[in-house]
Amino acid sequence: MVGFGNFVRAAVGVVALLIVAPAAAQEQKQPAKQTLKRLAADKKQKLHLLVLQVNTNEPAMMNLALNNATNVAQYYKDLGEKVTIEVVTFGPGLHMLRDDTSPVKARIKAIKESTPAISFKACGNTQENMRKVENKEIPLVPEASVVKSGVVHVMELQEQGWSYVKP
């Protein structure tokens, strides 16, 4: 009979495992599902930050920077994620944002109207130096705002975790 008692205890243990194990497994799946949902929600809330530098007076480079900006904005829009993009100009690149010399000002206007995630920054130091050299005010496109120093602005954005690209 001792053998039969061991058999009964073993059988009861197996039945208990068959009842308890699926419940425990289900409890483990719930937090995993919640974690996945939370991670998915966090991913959608993540803000991507990109600064693009333009420091040459070459229309091809200006257009490349604009292509990069619009492509990145569309990429994250398609994913349902947020992005902020700043195009920062300084040195000869300021011509990109000059109202009197920009070869891409119509495109900048269209981008600003359709893609608010993209902004345009002009270096105040460069603008002032051009004003002195040309002995006239340097007008900027209405879509641009001025930062004191374009290089310092890029540097400080990088220090804050922004991704940096020079097309």
CA 105 to mean position of chain CA atoms? 24
Max Cα distance, the chain (Å): 112
| Residue 32 confidence (pLDDT) | 52
Residue 86 — very low, low, confident or very high, per pLDDT cuts 50/70/90?
A: very high
The position carrying tokens 């890029």 is: 154
For the chain, domain boundaries: 1-41, 46-165
Q: Which of 31-45, 116-130, 147-161 has the lowest mean pLDDT?
A: 31-45
| Residue 15 confidence (pLDDT) | 47
Sign of CA dihedral 70, 119, 160, 158: positive
Per the model's pLDDT, the better-predicted residue between 135 and 17 turns out to be 135
| Residue 18 confidence (pLDDT) | 47
Whether the predicted model's global pTM rises above the 0.85 cut: no
* pLDDT of residue 14 exceeding 50: no
The Cα–Cα gap between 85 and 78 comes to 16
Residue 122 identity (one-letter amino acid):
A
| Residue 46 confidence (pLDDT) | 82
Whole-angstrom CA distances from 61 to 73, 148, 163 are 18, 23, 19
* pLDDT of residue 19 exceeding 80: no
* pLDDT of residue 38 exceeding 70: no
Residue 133 — very low, low, confident or very high, per pLDDT cuts 50/70/90?
A: very high
The position carrying tokens 């920077």 is: 65
Question: Domain spanning 46-165 has what CATH number?
Answer: 3.40.1260.10
Residue 151 — very low, low, confident or very high, per pLDDT cuts 50/70/90?
A: very high
Residue 140 — very low, low, confident or very high, per pLDDT cuts 50/70/90?
A: very high
